[in-house]
Amino acid sequence: MKAQLVIRNPNPRTKEVTVYAEYRHLGKCKRVATGIKIQEKYWDHEKKLIRANGTPDVGKDNKHLKFVLTGLNDRVSQLYVKNGQLYPTIDQLNAGYNEDAKALQQADEAPKTPETLVEALRSFIEEHPDWAPATRKGFGTLINNITRYQVDNKTTWLLPTLTNEELTKWQHWLLKTYDYNNATLGKRVRLLRQLLREKEAPNVKLGKVKPLYAQRLAPPVVLHQHEIEALRNLDLHFSRKLERIRDLMIAQIFSGLRFSDLIRLRKDNIQKGHIVMRMQKTDMLVRVPIFQPLQEVLDKYTDSESGALLLPNLSNQKFNEYIKELCQLIPALREPVVIEAKKRDKTVTIETPKWELISSHSSRRSFCTLCLELRYSIKDTMQWSGHRTLAAFSRYIGLTDLHEDAGADFGSRYAAKLSS
Whether the per-residue pLDDT at 309 is higher than 70: the answer is yes
Choice between 346 and 168, residue whose per-residue pLDDT is larger: 168
Residues 221-275: pLDDT tens digits?
Answer: 889 999 999 999 999 999 999 999 999 999 999 999 999 999 999 999 999 999 9
Which of these ranges, 107-116, 261-270, 304-313, has the smallest mean pLDDT?
107-116
Report domain extents, the chain. Answer: 4-109, 117-208, 225-394
Return mean pLDDT, the chain: 87
Measured distance between the N- and C-terminal CA atoms of the chain, rounded to whole angstroms: 97
At residue 300, the 3 state secondary structure works out as: helix
Give the max Cα distance, the chain: 107
CATH C-level class of 117-208: mainly alpha
Q: Which of 234, 233, 243, 232 is nearest to 329 (CA)?
A: 234
Q: Check: CB of residue 96 under 8 Å from CB of residue 75.
A: yes
Choice between 114 and 330, residue whose per-residue pLDDT is larger: 330
Q: Which of 357, 394, 360, 401 is nearest to 255 (CA)?
A: 360
Q: Which of 48, 7, 10 is nearest to 31 (CA)?
A: 7
The stretch 92-103 carries a mean pLDDT of 84
The CATH number of domain 225-394, selected from 3.40.50.970, 3.20.20.70, 1.10.443.10, 3.40.630.30: 1.10.443.10
Q: Check: CB of residue 51 under 8 Å from CB of residue 44.
A: yes
Query: What's the half-sphere exposure (Cβ side, CA atoms, 13 Å) at 158?
Result: 7
Q: For residue 305, count other CB atoms closer than 10 A to its CB.
A: 5
The stretch 46-61 carries a mean pLDDT of 90
Q: Check: CB of residue 31 under 8 Å from CB of residue 3.
A: no
pTM greater than 0.95:
no
